[in-house]
Amino acid sequence: MKRLIFGLSLVLSLAACSEQKPASEKVSTEPAAAPAIAVKLANEKDPSCGMAISPDAKDTAHYKGKVYGFCSESCKNEFVKDPAAYVKE
Ligand SMILES: [Zn+2]
């Protein structure tokens, strides 16, 4: 009789463990699911100098709800001075 009770409690504790696992896994995967690069650049070429932009460009500027990338900070500064001159819509 004692053995049966021990076996039953073991099964119950195992069941409890397997129930908890999916919940904890779900929480831990959420931050990793977010992409490293959140913004998508509106341009493929630097509006200031015409050079190709890398998708992970650090020099970016927001203009009319879009994100523009630049090859360098100086190109970004040129764009920010007069964005309308570079963006044709
Ligand atoms: Zn440039």
Q: What is the pLDDT of residues 22-51, one digit of tens each?
A: 555 565 555 555 455 557 899 999 999 999
Give 53 Cα–ligand 1 centroid separation in angstroms.
Answer: 8
The answer to whether 86 and 47 have CB atoms below 8 angstroms apart is yes
Whether pTM exceeds 0.85? no
What separation, in Å, do the N-terminal and C-terminal C-alpha atoms of the chain show?
83
Distance 64 CA to ligand 1 centre (A): 20
Note the pLDDT of residue 63: 95
What was the pLDDT predicted at 40?
86
At residue 20, the pLDDT reads 55
C-alpha–C-alpha distance, residues 26 and 31, integer Å: 10
Task: Give distance in angstroms: CA of 89 to centre of ligand 1.
Answer: 20
Spell out a b/e string for 36-59, using b for 16 or more CB atoms within 10 Å of the CB, else e.
eeeeebbbeebbbeeeebeeebeb
Distance 34 CA to ligand 1 centre (A): 29
d(CA 61, CA 24): 39
For ligand 1, the distance from its centroid to the CA atom of residue 79, given in whole angstroms, is 10
For the cut 70, the answer to whether the pLDDT of residue 2 exceeds it is: no
From ligand 1's centre to the CA of 52, what distance in Å?
A: 8
Say whether pLDDT at 14 is over 80: no
Neighbours of 68 (CB within 10 A): 25
Q: For position 84, what pLDDT does the model report? A: 95
